[in-house]
Amino acid sequence: MRATRAPHLVQADAAFVAATRLRAARLEPYLASAIFALIPVPTPGLGTFAVDRHWRLYLDLDQARSWGVEASAAVMLHEAHHVVREHARRAVSVGVTEEQFRLWNLATDAAINDDLVADGMPLPHPVLPSTLGLNSRGTEESYFAALKAEAAFLTSEQQADAPQCGSGSGGARLAQELTQDDVPVVDGLDADAVRRDVAHAVVEATKNGDQVSPGLARWAQTLLQPQVPWQRILRSVLGRPLHAAAAIAEPTWQRPDRRNDAHPDILRPGARRTLPEVAVVIDTSASMSQSLLNAAITEVDSILRRSGANLTVVVCDAVAARPQRVSHIGQLRLAGGGGTDMRVGIAAAAALRPAPRLIAVLTDGLTQWPAAAPSGASLVAVVIDSAVQLPSGPGITSVRIQDQK
């Protein structure tokens, strides 16, 4: 093992950190493996705690002593949530830029602290959804989307006081952080093993009726759910409304009813099967994952071509472009790159004539949704590579597709 530049803890500091770790593990026992995996790095003058991508926990021990063991344990839990919930990876997934690091840090802190404060943790001066004008029990991604939309309205004090929890939170790399070559570190394989251990402990605690942070419970269920290839799920979800639409017979006077011979005095229209009308709304906002968007478009195109559906595409960011009638999705032209509001694209699709029986929306999910599918149509929300909460409501079916390399 190479030498590390990380300063060692003196005996008194080591004893304080050990007491803080033990208290944190008792406060949230299901996070114990993550708490003891964190690598403490004394960082005088930092004024708080922070964490990097390699699970190194930067501690201002003078500040910690002024907080006391109980509050320091709560802050340690906060930093553990950042690395366990993979906030650094999720920041990349939602396209957080350098200019947005502090907004993302605000969003993730609000999601974590919402849970910790509800559990009675004595966090010093916590950022909460209520302090940002947001609703409780939201996801990090939904908070970030709301903060981006309202960034111009945040007070200068809120922006200046935005937290900096380090690169492990998906925020800016702090000047005090060690380099990637410094040791010790928790590598990717070990980090994934710790996360799975925590996820199993969270699920077990939930089954036992123990109090578990809702955000962490949601994360654990997502991590441990069976990894069925998303293509198979998408075919199943899209296939059901397509088959239902194709099964509906429309009356026509161009073909006589076969029962007319039995009742010659009564004229009856015949029936014909028509190909289903389908609209695909494609999110072209700046935050979309291009590789997975391309994969989703290809898969949807294949499904619709096999069904013979009549296809109209609506390209949308915060504004819906003119609908494009295409024989296959490869003919469409994509444009956009602004904000996101898929309700606009869904409304444009519902207004098409003939009206679509199925509306499929390809998006990263960082948008608001209608409360229900448009009248007479099924709405399938295909949420791409994001941990946002999936939409639900009458007539709405959701499926999440993620890179499963």
Predicted confidence at residue 404, as pLDDT, reads: 53
Helix, strand, coil % (nearest 5) of the chain?
45, 15, 40
Report the number of distinct structural domains present in the chain. 2
| Radius of gyration for the chain, computed over Cα atoms and rounded to the nearest angstrom | 26
Each residue's pLDDT, cut to its tens digit, for the chain (405 residues) gives 344 455 678 889 999 999 999 999 999 999 999 999 999 999 999 999 999 999 999 999 999 999 999 999 999 999 999 999 999 989 988 888 888 898 999 999 999 999 999 889 999 989 999 988 888 888 898 899 888 887 655 555 555 556 788 999 998 889 999 887 776 888 887 888 899 999 999 989 888 888 888 888 888 887 887 555 666 777 777 777 776 655 455 565 566 666 656 666 666 665 555 677 888 898 888 777 677 677 778 878 777 777 777 888 899 888 898 999 887 777 777 776 677 889 999 999 999 998 988 899 988 888 889 999 999 888 998 888 666 778 888 888 888 876 654
Q: Are residues 240 and 311 in the same domain?
A: yes
Predicted confidence at residue 2, as pLDDT, reads: 40
Q: Are residues 312 and 363 in the same domain?
A: yes
Task: Write the burial class of residue 351 (CB in 10 Å: 0-12 exposed, 13-18 middle, 19+ buried).
Answer: middle
Indicate the residue among 224, 252, 271 that finishes a domain: 224
d(CA 138, CA 215): 8
Predicted confidence at residue 270, as pLDDT, reads: 54
Q: How far from 87 is each of 41, 53, 64, 165, 400, CA to CA, in Å?
A: 20, 9, 24, 11, 18
Predicted confidence at residue 202, as pLDDT, reads: 92
Q: Are residues 292 and 327 in the same domain?
A: yes
Indicate the residue among 173, 200, 224 that finishes a domain: 224
d(CA 358, CA 377): 5
Q: Are residues 213 and 83 in the same domain?
A: yes
- Write the CATH number for 296: 3.40.50
Predicted confidence at residue 3, as pLDDT, reads: 40
